Amino acid sequence: MPDRSVLIVGLGNPGPDYELTRHNAGFLAIDYFAGEVGQPITSEKWQGLFSRTRLSGKTVFLLKPQAFMNRSGECVARFATYFKIEPQHILVIHDDLDLEPGRIKIVARGGAGGHNGIRSVIRHLGASDFARIKIGIGRPPVSGHGSAMPVERFVLAAFTPAERDLFRRQLDLVAEGIRLFISQGIEVAMNSINGRSGQSAAGQGLG
């Protein structure tokens, strides 16, 4: 990728009540990466918290929209428009119900897949060809009576201790995926990361 601005977005809900919930996997992951590169996300602009740094010769914005999940796209679109960042140079990190807990998957584009934050980003950008790092949270377990917690409650519930430990063990892999996206592009990031996270998550008794 030539020298240009890159926007890395973590999705979540603002406020302490949501801090360690499954739906905030994107916030937690981007905060971890920000700590790794020494750029805490503390500046405020357009209903978002952000930081700016230089990595691999590029200007990199790290962004946490502070509207609730279903309005995340407003902030993302403002940043992208103002700093002239094309969708292909945006990477969004978010939780994913359809991946088992601990699985990390990078994709170049796609639909919303039922995720309200991604749906909002697509709507406000007017495009779906932005990259994503999907962090698996699995679906609500089904009880012996055949019932399960509603998805809306499940994603807003806190990680179990086992899920939290597994998630933390995968944060280095997420950070590596972000670095590869910035330095070498989406294809290299996908090829390097997607075959490895399933092995790391296997045998944990989750999902």
Chain Cα centroid distance, residue 120:
14
Alpha helix positions (H), 14-61: 25-36
Query: What is the total residue count of the chain?
Result: 207
Structure tokens at 78: 């403002």
Q: Is 23 an annotated catalytic residue?
A: yes
Calculate the CA 75 to chain-centre distance.
15
Q: Which two tokens stand for residue 93?
A: 């990190």
Name the active-site residue from 23, 94, 115, 124: 23
Q: Angle 161-184/25-36 helices, nearest 10 degrees?
A: 60
How far, in Å, CA of 62 to CA of 5, rounded?
Answer: 11
Closest CA to 49 of 22, 83, 25, 15: 15
Round to whole Å and give the CA distance between 159 and 25.
10
**Residues forming the active site:** 23
